[in-house]
C-alpha cells in the first residue's frame, strides 16, 4: 500500500499533537506544540502576571524558576534594557502587583554588570515607592547577595530623597513587613541624614519603634550589622507625634481629633478603635484610593456605608474620579477583585461579612473600565474568543482569587465596550478534536451571552455554564470559517497550552484568510507567564500581548486597525 506523504508532512493542517513541519515549534506543557516566546516576551509576562500560584500544568516553584532563568538571560544580554522595562511597567501601574518588578530589580542588582547595577540602584525609588516595597526588595537581595556599598547607598538615598512629611508617613504606615523594619535597613545602610528632620525620624525609627515593641522579628543578614546613631537634633514631625498620642489615647474624641487634624492613616489607629463607624468616617474623608477600595467591606460591616448614606455617596464620588484613579495607579484587577468580594458580602478569608450597597457595586464596575488606558475602537468586526478549558479554570491571575477563565472574560468586556461590531465565544474541545463538545452540539464553540452592561458576577455565572474540556485554540478560526462569519480580528484569551485539535491555530487562520478575509489578524492574549504562544512569530498578522496589561486593549485595537 502506497504511503500518503501529504498526511505525514502537511503544512496546511497538522494535528496539534505534532509540530508544524519546519516551524520551529516546541512541545508545550500540555503535550501539544506551540511556539516558545522569547526571553524578553517572558520578562513582560512575568512583570505583569507574575508566577504566584503556578498554572494547571506548571507548579509555582517551577514557574518561578523558569521565569528567573529567562530574566537572568535578559540581564546578561542587556541589563540596562531590563531596568528600563521594569521601571516602565512598574512606574506606570500596568501590572496587578508590584512584587514581580521588585524581584526582577533585585536580580539585576545581583547578576547585572556594573552599568546595569548602577542603573538599578538609581531607579530603586521608582520601583519601590512605599516602605512595603522596600522591605520586599531587602528580603530578595538579602537572599541573593551581600550588602555592598552600592546597595547601602541606594537604600540610604531612598530615605533621604523623601520629604520629612512623606518619610514620617512611611515610618508609621509601613512599620514592618516580612521580618524587616526601617530600623533594620538604617542599621545596614547607615545613611548620612540630609536635614535635622531626617535625623529625628531616623533616630525614632532606630530607637522609638524598637522600644515600643513594633519590631518583633530580628532579621539576620549575611553581612556584619552596622550601627547607626543620630544626634538628638530636630523635632519629630507632627504626624509621628500624633501617632504616639494615639497609642496613649483614652477616649474616642482624642482619636477623632488626631485623625482629623493630623490625617492619621488607618495603620496608625490602635486596633481597638477600628470597629467604630465614627472612626472610619473620619478616616474615609482623606483616605487614599487604594486603601478605600481595600476597606469597603470593613466600612460596610461596621455600619458606615449604608444605602443613601453620606459616606456611601462619598465613596461613589471618589470611585467616579477617573483622574484620581489613574493618579493612584489603581490597577483594573484590584477593582475587579474588590467588586467580586464586595458584591458577595464576605471576605475570601476570615469571618467578616456585610450587606453590599448597590451604588458602590455599580461605581466599582464603572471604575473597572476607567482604569484601562483610553482605547480608540478599531471599527472592524472582532471575534473575542475565551479559552474555557480546564487549565484556564485552575490558573490564578497574579495569585489572586480570579481564575484566568474569569479574568479573560472581564478583559474581553473592555474591547466589547469599545467596539461596535463584536461577538464573544467560549471554546474548549472534546477528546476527538472538532467532533463536538462532549460528543455533540456545536464543534467546541459556545456563544457567550455577556455584554459590558452586565456586572462581573453575572459574567462569571455565564462563563461557569460552559463545560470545560481540552484546549484547542484553532476552534475560533475553524468555527468562523464554517459559519461564514466575517471577522477582521480574532482576539484569543488563552494560556496557549493547546493540544486537542486536528489543525494548528496559525494554519486555521491561514485557511480562513484564503476563504474570507486575506487581511484577517489574530491577537493572542497570554493569561499566564508560561513559555508558550500560539502566535506564529513569522506571521506579521499575528500578535502576542500580555493579559491584564492596562495598555493591552489599546494595543489590540491599534493592531487590528492598522494596515
Which tens digit of pLDDT belongs to each residue from 130-139? 999 999 999 9
pLDDT band (50, 70, 90) for residue 6: low
Burial (CB count within 10 angstroms: exposed 0-12, middle 13-18, buried 19+), residue 33: buried
Would the pTM count as exceeding 0.75? Answer: yes
Does residue 423 surpass a pLDDT of 50?
A: yes
Lowest mean pLDDT among 134-143, 395-404, 408-417: 395-404
pLDDT at 366 over 80: yes
Cβ–Cβ under 8 Å, residues 293 and 334: yes
Per residue in 63-114, pLDDT (tens digit) is 889 999 999 999 999 999 999 999 999 999 999 999 999 999 999 999 999 9
Segment 129-174, tens digit of pLDDT:
999 999 999 999 999 999 999 999 999 999 999 999 999 999 999 9
Q: Quick check: 115 and 79 in contact, CB under 8 A?
A: yes
- Please count the CA atoms within 13 angstroms of the CA of 246 that sit on its side-chain side: 28
Show the cell assigned to 152: 547601602
Residue of 73, 82, 183, 85 whose CA lies nearest to 138: 183
The predicted pLDDT at position 448 comes to 87
The pLDDT of residue 434 is 41
Q: pLDDT band at 222, cuts 50/70/90?
A: very low
Pairing of the two strands 422-427 and 382-387: parallel
φ and ψ of 481, to 5 deg: -70, -45
- For residues 504 and 474, is the Cβ–Cβ distance under 8 A? yes
| Sign of the Cα pseudo-torsion (178, 95, 90, 295, in order) | negative
Supply 545's cell numbers: 500581548
Phi and psi (nearest 5°) for 533?
Answer: -150, 150
Q: What is the dihedral of CA 283, 287, 293, 295, to 10 degrees?
A: -20
Q: Which of 115, 119, 205, 116 is nearest to 160 (CA)?
A: 205
Assess whether pLDDT exceeds 80 at residue 208: no
Q: Please determine, for residue 439, whether its predicted confidence score (pLDDT) is greater than 60.
A: no
Cα–chain center distance at 336: 11
* Cell numbers standing for residue 455: 456586572
pLDDT at 450 over 50: yes
Question: Which residues are bridge partners to 427 per DSSP?
Answer: 387, 445
Q: What pLDDT is attached to residue 149?
A: 95
pLDDT in the model for residue 454: 83
Q: What value, to the nearest 5°, has the Cα angle with vertex 496 and ends 491 and 502?
A: 90
How far, in Å, CA of 82 to CA of 399, rounded? 23
Range among 36-50, 229-243, 388-402, 440-454 with highest mean pLDDT value: 36-50
pLDDT over 90, % of the chain: 66
Report whether 417 contacts 377 (CB < 8 A).
no
Q: Residues 502-514, buried b or exposed e (16+ Cβ, 10 A)? A: bbbbbbbbbbbbe
Question: Which pLDDT score, from 0 to 100, does residue 209 have?
Answer: 52
Greatest Cα-to-Cα distance within the chain, rounded to the nearest angstrom: 97
Gap between the terminal Cα atoms of the chain: 49
**Cα separations in angstroms, 386 against 149, 393, 468, 495:** 50, 11, 12, 10
What is the predicted pLDDT for the residue at 11? 63
521: nearest Cα among 556, 545, 493, 552 = 556
Q: What are phi and psi of 489, to 5 degrees?
A: -145, 125
| pLDDT for 213 | 35
540 pLDDT higher than 70: yes
Going by the DSSP 8-state scheme, the letter that residue 531 receives in this structure is S
> Top-level CATH class of 382-561?
alpha beta
Other residues' Cβ atoms within 10 Å of the Cβ of residue 270: 12
CB 162 within 8 Å of CB 235: no
How deeply is 88 buried, as exposed, middle or buried, from its count of CB atoms within 10 A (0-12, 13-18, 19+)?
A: middle
Report, as an integer, the average pLDDT of 484-495.
Answer: 94
pLDDT for position 219: 41
Instruction: Count, in order, helices (H) and strands (E) of the chain.
Output: 27, 11
Q: In what order do the strands lie in the sheet with 489-494?
A: 445-447, 422-427, 382-387, 489-494, 521-526, 542-546
Report the distance separating Cα 384 and Cα 230, nearest Å: 61
What is the average per-residue pLDDT within 217-225?
A: 39
Structure confidence at residue 3 (pLDDT): 55
DSSP E strands, 339-497: 382-387, 422-427, 445-447, 489-494
- Rounded Cα gap, residues 106 and 124, in angstroms: 10
Amino acid at each position: 500500500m502506497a504511503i500518503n506523504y501529504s498526511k505525514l508532512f502537511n503544512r496546511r493542517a497538522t494535528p496539534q499533537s505534532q509540530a508544524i513541519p519546519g516551524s520551529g515549534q516546541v512541545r508545550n506543557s500540555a503535550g501539544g506544540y506551540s511556539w516558545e516566546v522569547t526571553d524578553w516576551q517572558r520578562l513582560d509576562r512575568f512583570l505583569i502576571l507574575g508566577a504566584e500560584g503556578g498554572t494547571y500544568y506548571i507548579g509555582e516553584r517551577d514557574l518561578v524558576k523558569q521565569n528567573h532563568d529567562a530574566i537572568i538571560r535578559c540581564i546578561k544580554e542587556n541589563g540596562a534594557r531590563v531596568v528600563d522595562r521594569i521601571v516602565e511597567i512598574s512606574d506606570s501601574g500596568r501590572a496587578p502587583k508590584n512584587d514581580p518588578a521588585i524581584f526582577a530589580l533585585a536580580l539585576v542588582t545581583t547578576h547585572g554588570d556594573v552599568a546595569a547595577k548602577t542603573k538599578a540602584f538609581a531607579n530603586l525609588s521608582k520601583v519601590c515607592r512605599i516602605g512595603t516595597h522596600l522591605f520586599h526588595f531587602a528580603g530578595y537581595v538579602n537572599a541573593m547577595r551581600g550588602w555592598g556599598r552600592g546597595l547601602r547607598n541606594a537604600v540610604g538615598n531612598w530615605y533621604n530623597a523623601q520629604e520629612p512629611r512623606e518619610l514620617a508617613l512611611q515610618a508609621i504606615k509601613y512599620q514592618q513587613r516580612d521580618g524587616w523594619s526601617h530600623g533594620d535597613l538604617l542599621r545596614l545602610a547607615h545613611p548620612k541624614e540630609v536635614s535635622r528632620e531626617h535625623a529625628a525620624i531616623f533616630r525614632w525609627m532606630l530607637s522609638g519603634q524598637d522600644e515600643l515593641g513594633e519590631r518583633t522579628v530580628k532579621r539576620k543578614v549575611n553581612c556584619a550589622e552596622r550601627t547607626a546613631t543620630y544626634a538628638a537634633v530636630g523635632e519629630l514631625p507632627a504626624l509621628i507625634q500624633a501617632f504616639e498620642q494615639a497609642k496613649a489615647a483614652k477616649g474616642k474624641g482624642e482619636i477623632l481629633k488626631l485623625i482629623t487634624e493630623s490625617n492619621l492613616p488607618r495603620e496608625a489607629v490602635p486596633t481597638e478603635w477600628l470597629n467604630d463607624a465614627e472612626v472610619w468616617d473620619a478616616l474615609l474623608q482623606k483616605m487614599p484610593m487604594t486603601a478605600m477600595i481595600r476597606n469597603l467591606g470593613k466600612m460596610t460591616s461596621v455600619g458606615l456605608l449604608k444605602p443613601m448614606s453620606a459616606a456611601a455617596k462619598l465613596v461613589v464620588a471618589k470611585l467616579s474620579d477617573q483622574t484620581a484613579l489613574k493618579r493612584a495607579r489603581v490597577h483594573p484587577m484590584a477593582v475587579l477583585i474588590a467588586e467580586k468580594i464586595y458584591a458577595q458580602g464576605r471576605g475570601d478569608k476570615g469571618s467578616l461579612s456585610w450587606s453590599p450597597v448597590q451604588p458602590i457595586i455599580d461605581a466599582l464596575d464603572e471604575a473597572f473600565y476607567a482604569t484601562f488606558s483610553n482605547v480608540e475602537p478599531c471599527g472592524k468586526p472582532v471575534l473575542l474568543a475565551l479559552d474555557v478549558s480546564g487549565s484556564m479554570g485552575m490558573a490564578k491571575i497574579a495569585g489572586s482569587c480570579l481564575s484566568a477563565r474569569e479574568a479573560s472574560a472581564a478583559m474581553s468586556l473592555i474591547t466589547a465596550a469599545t467596539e461596535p461590531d463584536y461577538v464573544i465565544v467560549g471554546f474548549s474541545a472534546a477528546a476527538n478534536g472538532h467532533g463536538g463538545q462532549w460528543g455533540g452540539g456545536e464543534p467546541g464553540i459556545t456563544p457567550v451571552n455577556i455584554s459590558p452592561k452586565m456586572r462581573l458576577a453575572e459574567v462569571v455565572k455565564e462563563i461557569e455554564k460552559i463545560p470545560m474540556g481540552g484546549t484547542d485554540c484553532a476552534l475560533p478560526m475553524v468555527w468562523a470559517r464554517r459559519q461564514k462569519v466575517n471577522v477582521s480580528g480574532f482576539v484569543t484569551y488563552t494560556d496557549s497550552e493547546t493540544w486537542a485539535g486536528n489543525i494548528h491555530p496559525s494554519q486555521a487562520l491561514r485557511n480562513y484568510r484564503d476563504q474570507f478575509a486575506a487581511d484577517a489578524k489574530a491577537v493572542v492574549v497570554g493569561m499566564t507567564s508560561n513559555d508558550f504562544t500560539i502566535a506564529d512569530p513569522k506571521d506579521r498578522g499575528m500578535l502576542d500581548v500580555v493579559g491584564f496589561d492596562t495598555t493591552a486593549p489599546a494595543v489590540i485595537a491599534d493592531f487590528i486597525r492598522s494596515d
